[in-house]
A and B are shown apart, each in its own frame.
Chain A
């Protein structure tokens, strides 16, 4: 019999006692995937930063939806990422991408950040369409290893342009634990229904 509540009268009537309130209930199993923080676009800022990230997880995952306030022609946008406020030349990125007509592999290593292409979209014609992405950051709290990242991103607006999907690896050549993640919009600013969430994944 599961224990769902305790009343004083039950104790007074001498109902069977247990040393644990879990008696009869399924054991509580903590989740290994926890929400750490969420940030939304302001409509005017082109950066979102997750800071003071605890080092108590094994891996991190960032998931999100990005629309840009850019008012020019409809287009897909990249999202730029750097860690710990570090904009030095220690990032690499390689991706496999397709735009609906051709597939290609790209070395997109650049200074101060790495891009995630097809992660965002402008708002001119299709006001409720955005780009999406999932970024996994492995062993982010290690102080002995460089940090490897995997991303999957895509945007589609039901036209023959501005579409794409990309699978990417990235490298942050630093053995510092990652304690902040800065996301920078490739266009003008993050629209107000942009949302990014940071999750922690536990491990041994």
Chain B
């Protein structure tokens, strides 16, 4: 059986930054999985994602979430990026975890992704499951990660895995 689920690239942040990119993603896999574990300069913020540097209104998403003791669902259309979370998020000492699965990222369909987001800080916390769409049929060759409001800080890591089918 062919082995798969291989790490393609990884970045560890050593200097505070609002944004960083993972580029030159090869198109030789079927799906991608991005695992982002991050610390932030302030806990009121959230991560966002763009593909291939596209800042157009080509993104949309729908989520379910649990924040504290409340559950909810919402959606956004014609967005300029995929945003995730937005309540209690990572701090300088408590990391948040985001996993993004990107399906058929090198194929000719629009790109649909699934997010799994978890954040807890001993008294406040939230978890999201979110579907996102990038209305573009181009192969994804870069992902730009941005922390809205407060920077990513040292200790933040992002790894992309390639999943290749038989």
B70 — nearest CB in chain A belongs to which residue? A103
- Bound complex: CA A32 to CA B3 (Å): 8
How many residue pairs, one in A and one in B, have C-beta atoms under 8 Å apart?
148
Give the distance to chain B from A54, nearest Cβ to Cβ, in Å: 8
Task: Give chain A interface residues in 98-119, CB to chain B under 8 Å.
Answer: 98-103, 118
- Bound complex: CA A96 to CA B73 (Å): 11
A199 — nearest CB in chain B belongs to which residue? B4
Asked if A129 and B109 sit within 8 Å, CB to CB, the answer is yes
Q: Quick one: given A128-B108, A156-B112, are A103 and B101 in contact (CB under 8 Å)?
A: no
B77 — nearest CB in chain A belongs to which residue? A158
B44 contacts chain A at the CB level, 8 A cutoff: no
Asked if B31 and A36 sit within 8 Å, CB to CB, the answer is no
Asked if A103 and B73 sit within 8 Å, CB to CB, the answer is yes
Give the distance to chain B from A128, nearest Cβ to Cβ, in Å: 4
Q: For residue A101, which residues in chain B have a CB less than 8 angstroms away from its CB?
A: 73-75
Please tell me which stretch of B20-28, B59-67, B84-92, B142-150 contacts chain A, meaning at least 4 of its Cβ atoms lie within 8 angstroms of it: B59-67
Contact indicator per residue, chain B 38-62, by CB within 8 Å of chain A (1) or not (0):
0000000000000000000000111
B95 contacts chain A at the CB level, 8 A cutoff: no
- Bound complex: CA A38 to CA B87 (Å): 39
Give the distance to chain B from A99, nearest Cβ to Cβ, in Å: 6
Contact indicator per residue, chain A 155-181, by CB within 8 Å of chain B (1) or not (0):
111111001111100000000000000
- Bound complex: CA A169 to CA B107 (Å): 30
Contact indicator per residue, chain A 170-204, by CB within 8 Å of chain B (1) or not (0):
00000000000000000000000101010110000
Asked if B166 and A35 sit within 8 Å, CB to CB, the answer is yes
- Bound complex: CA A45 to CA B64 (Å): 32
Asked if A63 and B116 sit within 8 Å, CB to CB, the answer is no
- Bound complex: CA A96 to CA B165 (Å): 29
Q: For residue A96, which residues in chain B have a CB less than 8 angstroms away from its CB?
A: 64, 71, 129
Number of B residues whose C-beta is below 8 Å from A?
Answer: 43
- Bound complex: CA A131 to CA B74 (Å): 18
Asked if A152 and B116 sit within 8 Å, CB to CB, the answer is yes
B1 contacts chain A at the CB level, 8 A cutoff: yes
Asked if A103 and B72 sit within 8 Å, CB to CB, the answer is yes
Instruction: Indicate which residue in A36, A152, A160 contacts B166 across the interface (CB closer than 8 Å).
Output: A36
Asked if B110 and A128 sit within 8 Å, CB to CB, the answer is yes
Q: For residue B3, which residues in chain A have a CB less than 8 angstroms away from its CB?
A: 30-31, 33-35
Q: Quick one: given A37-B166, A65-B112, are A103 and B64 in contact (CB under 8 Å)?
A: yes
- Bound complex: CA A30 to CA B3 (Å): 7
Asked if A65 and B109 sit within 8 Å, CB to CB, the answer is yes
Q: Quick one: given A33-B4, A156-B131, A158-B133, are A163 and B62 in contact (CB under 8 Å)?
A: yes
Binding site for A on B (CB under 8 A): 1-6, 30-31, 60-65, 71-75, 77-78, 101, 103-104, 107-110, 112-114, 116, 129-133, 135, 137, 163-166
Some 19 contacts from A to B, beta carbons below 8 A apart, are A35-B1, A35-B164, A36-B1, A38-B30, A63-B31, A65-B104, A67-B109, A98-B62, A98-B65, A98-B73, A103-B65, A103-B72, A132-B114, A134-B101, A156-B112, A163-B62, A167-B129, A195-B165, A197-B166
